[in-house]
Structure 1
Amino acid sequence: MWLSDRRSLLFGGLAAATLAGCGFAPAYGTNGAASKLQNAIRIDTPGSRNAYVVTRRIEERLGAGGADAPYALGLTLSLSEESSASTSDGALTRYQVLGRVTYALRRAGSGEVLDSNTLRHFTGYSASGSTVATLQAKRDAEERMMVILADRVIQELVLAAPDL
């Protein structure tokens, strides 16, 4: 028992020393680069349900910047759908939802673009159930897509934070 505790302590100390040596610093920690994004981004008013889901997710994770926030974030979303599986008689049983978000982080006062990118992702849903089940699966897939795209935007913003 004592030997295994000693090994885990030694391994933990070695891991901590390795991370300290590589310049690791928590993004949201004290003086972390991404801490300046907390409650500092005003997101343009969403124009659709999907844009609202993305806005809500970003605000959940980074906080809602008020009217005097130093940064403004513009989002453009698009979704498309294609069939991805069918039965031998041609009935479609699975769809793939393709999502794309283009974002632009601007300095609120000047409108200067500080960071922008276009991100893509996909998810799918089954169409083999009833009509109601298929419609609900489609809605769920679209909402999952919006959460994934929002998380990817947040990752990109955190990576860009040191240069803001």
Structure 2
Amino acid sequence: MWLSDRRSLLVGALSALTLAGCGFAPAYGTNGVATRLQGSVLIEEPDSQDAYVLTRRIEERLGAGGPDAPYRLALNARLSEESSASTSDGALTRYQVLGTVTYTLVRAADGSVIDSNTLRHFTGYSASGSTVATLQAKRDAEERMMVILADRVVQELVLAAPDL
């Protein structure tokens, strides 16, 4: 028993030394590059429920930037839907929600674009229940899509953070 604990400790210590040797540093750690973004990004006012969910999630991850924030983030999200499964008699039983978000991060001082990209993802929901259950499943899938897209935007912004 004691020997296996000792091996685990050695493997863990070796892993930590390997990561330290390659220049790995936590993005949100002390002096991490992503700390430059925390509370420093003002997101445009959302104009729909989907945009609100997207904005809320990004602000949960990065913090809300005030009017004096050094960076501005413009978001344009779109959702579409397509059928993905049906029964032998043609009744649709599953849908895919396709999401696209285009973002632009701008330096507030001079208006220069720091990072811009278009991200896509998909999720799905079942339409085999009652009308109410199907409607709720659709709303849930759309909200999940916005959270996924928001997390991807944050990942991209963290990758761009060294250039800030």
Moved more, 105-114 or 115-124: 105-114
Alignment of 1:2-151 (within 5 A): 2-151=2-151
Q: Among all aligned residue pairs of Structure 1 and Structure 2, give the percentage whose two residues are the same amino acid.
A: 81
Provide the rounded CA distance (Å) in 2 between the counterparts of 1:125 and 1:5: 45
Alpha-carbon deviation of 1:31? 1.0
Provide the rounded CA distance (Å) in 2 between the counterparts of 1:5 and 1:86: 53
What letter is aligned with 2:133?
A
- Give the alignment's Cα RMSD to 1 decimal: 0.6
Provide the rounded CA distance (Å) in 1 between the counterparts of 2:10 and 2:77: 49
Paired residues, number? 164
Query: Which string of whole-angstrom CA distances, capped at 9 and with x for unpartnered residues, describes residues 73-112 of structure 1?
Result: 0000111000000000000000000000000000012211
Gaps of 5+ in 2: none
Query: Which string of whole-angstrom CA distances, capped at 9 and with x for unpartnered residues, describes residues 107-135 of structure 1?
Result: 01221110000000000000001111100
Matched residue of 1:143: which SS?
helix
Alpha-carbon deviation of 1:30? 1.1
- Structure 1 segments, 4+ long, off by >3 Å, are none
Gaps of 5+ in 1: none
Matched residue of 2:159: which SS?
helix
Query: Which string of whole-angstrom CA distances, capped at 9 and with x for unpartnered residues, describes residues 30-54 of structure 1?
Result: 1111100000000000010000000
